[in-house]
Chain A
């Protein structure tokens, strides 16, 4: 049963658009799945390999802009951005990784945070190439209906899920975990930690970039503040994985589901809507104190807590 769980969930999600979901709900589901992709990518690098990145917006943005610039400069469909950003983001990750992966722990986190901001400022100022703060507007969307967008992002998510699963269950996954657990020990056993960290960063970056390229096609508009957003992308990505469960297969999906729904719910509350980030902050504190391994990672503990709540009431 457990073995088929991913396929069952995939099948359930695949029939979702056939149930007559409203356009709005479908949009929410597309966001949930897109964020799962970004969360899973981050999880590979941050959760399994232990390299906590505060700058995943850099990869998301480069992917998004790859698609956008193809459209504005080369008059191609933004969908070409998805295959092309595999190459672009991979190269970008290798170059960036060469710089930031020399650093460890908090220094790595700060360097990645800076790299995201550097990319945002670059995109703002390189007006000829990126359109600057005016952003890129895709004038003709591929479809009006959201169904196809849903299936495309679902396909991307399925590929990401199985790729991460295969990687983590392979030898490579063990090397990643070894680096997370003790980098010096891994090195002293002959593991080329720089190489494997670069591999993790590259795969993680590329998958995030694909989500970015999808975003451009789907939303039809990007600007530096959207595509390279510090809190709306880099930080939210970390929150999604933290809430769902670091280093778990389902954590990013559960986290994305909760975070996206919660954001929509709070934003729709009159008078409170603009304070949604405050609620996120409170949620994160609660999660870190009570469920440090996230909802999926601490599922048993969560069940016990809920069970206790029932027994006493």
Chain B
């Protein structure tokens, strides 16, 4: 479904990605783990077109997307939940959700989807008229995921959904991510520092170091891999 071939991305003179190859199949939960500065977020930004790659190719459903603008890529069915949530602080929860449905043409089904995400995160129902900025960190993350779902993506890119959240909320969010994957058949590409939790939720995983993919395997095999255990799981 998604394929990256030798993707290299630069920030000015600094090369953040030194040739990434990876593949995501339909229906999968794929996780990309690695330490700070490994290039995980840059990989996501390259896919979503916010930081377009300097060279290399990215294909989505067989179509090259590495030269497309960010808004065009979203219209193909890739939604991103950016790191640090990036909700619109002064817009209400409802307005944030409607913003997520920006590219939708089936306007009559938007209300239905709002009900669906309220079902996933009932707390948002109570907060529906509150400004996004007044929500707690966990609620903002829920809103960010819900907002991305409003576009009815085929591929959902999640960047550090556990960042700065209480363990209980993190577990809730991860269970919802799995639920979205199984109920909506949404393919999920998850970037996470919490390697343990990410690998428990995912089907397959990639390990990144210094702008390169160093390891690729089924998630449960990565969990028992000695090198991964040592470097990322703290075992």
Query: Which A residues contact B (CB, under 8 angstroms)?
Result: 174-175, 177-178, 181-182, 184-193
Q: Are B74 and A182 in contact (CB under 8 A)?
A: no
- Given A181-B90, A182-B87, A192-B69, decide whether A187 and B102 contact each other with a Cβ distance below 8 A: no
Among A178, A187, A189, A193, point to the contact of B151 (Cβ < 8 A). A189
**B88 at interface, CB cutoff 8 A:** yes
Q: Are B99 and A189 in contact (CB under 8 A)?
A: yes
Q: Are B82 and A181 in contact (CB under 8 A)?
A: no
For the complex, give the distance between the alpha carbons of A174 and B103 in Å: 14
Q: Mostly helix, strand, loop or mixed at chain A's interface?
A: helix
A-B contact pairs, 16 of them (CB 8 A): A177-B90, A181-B90, A182-B86, A182-B88, A185-B87, A185-B88, A186-B99, A188-B82, A188-B148, A189-B74, A189-B79, A189-B99, A189-B102, A190-B102, A191-B99, A191-B102
- Within the complex, the shortest CB–CB distance from B29 to chain A, in Å, comes to 20
| B63-108 with Cβ < 8 A to chain A | 69-71, 74-75, 79-80, 82, 86-91, 95, 98-100, 102-103
Q: Are B71 and A190 in contact (CB under 8 A)?
A: yes
Residues of chain B contacted by A182 (CB below 8 angstroms)? 86-89
Residues of chain B contacted by A178 (CB below 8 angstroms)? 88, 91, 99
Q: Are A184 and B98 in contact (CB under 8 A)?
A: no
How many residues of B sit at the interface, in one of the four size bands?
20 to 34
- Within the complex, the shortest CB–CB distance from A39 to chain B, in Å, comes to 21
Residues of chain A contacted by B91 (CB below 8 angstroms)? 174, 177-178, 181
Query: Which B residues contact A (CB, under 8 angstroms)?
Result: 48, 50, 69-71, 74-75, 79-80, 82, 86-91, 95, 98-100, 102-103, 147-148, 151
Q: 14 more A-B contacts (CB under 8 A) besides A187-B50, A188-B50, A188-B82? A: A174-B91, A174-B99, A177-B90, A178-B88, A181-B88, A181-B91, A182-B86, A184-B82, A185-B86, A187-B70, A187-B71, A189-B99, A189-B147, A193-B71
For the complex, give the distance between the alpha carbons of A185 and B50 in Å: 10
Among A177, A181, A190, point to the contact of B103 (Cβ < 8 A). A190
Q: Are A174 and B95 in contact (CB under 8 A)?
A: yes
Q: Are A177 and B71 in contact (CB under 8 A)?
A: no
Q: Are A192 and B71 in contact (CB under 8 A)?
A: yes
For the complex, give the distance between the alpha carbons of A192 and B74 in Å: 10
For the complex, give the distance between the alpha carbons of A192 and B99 in Å: 12
Among B87, B88, B100, B151, point to the contact of A177 (Cβ < 8 A). B88
Q: Are A174 and B74 in contact (CB under 8 A)?
A: no
Q: Are A190 and B82 in contact (CB under 8 A)?
A: no
Residues of chain A contacted by B74 (CB below 8 angstroms)? 188-190
- Given A174-B98, A174-B99, A178-B99, decide whether A188 and B88 contact each other with a Cβ distance below 8 A: no
Among A174, A181, A188, point to the contact of B48 (Cβ < 8 A). A188
- Within the complex, the shortest CB–CB distance from B180 to chain A, in Å, comes to 17
Residues of chain A contacted by B151 (CB below 8 angstroms)? 189-190
Identify the closest chain B residue to A181 (Cβ). B88
Q: Are B87 and A189 in contact (CB under 8 A)?
A: no
Residues of chain B contacted by A184 (CB below 8 angstroms)? 50, 82, 86
- Given A174-B91, A181-B90, decide whether A188 and B98 contact each other with a Cβ distance below 8 A: no
Q: Which one of B50, B102, B148, B151 has the highest number of Cβ atoms from chain A below 10 Å of its Cβ?
A: B102
Q: Are B100 and A189 in contact (CB under 8 A)?
A: yes
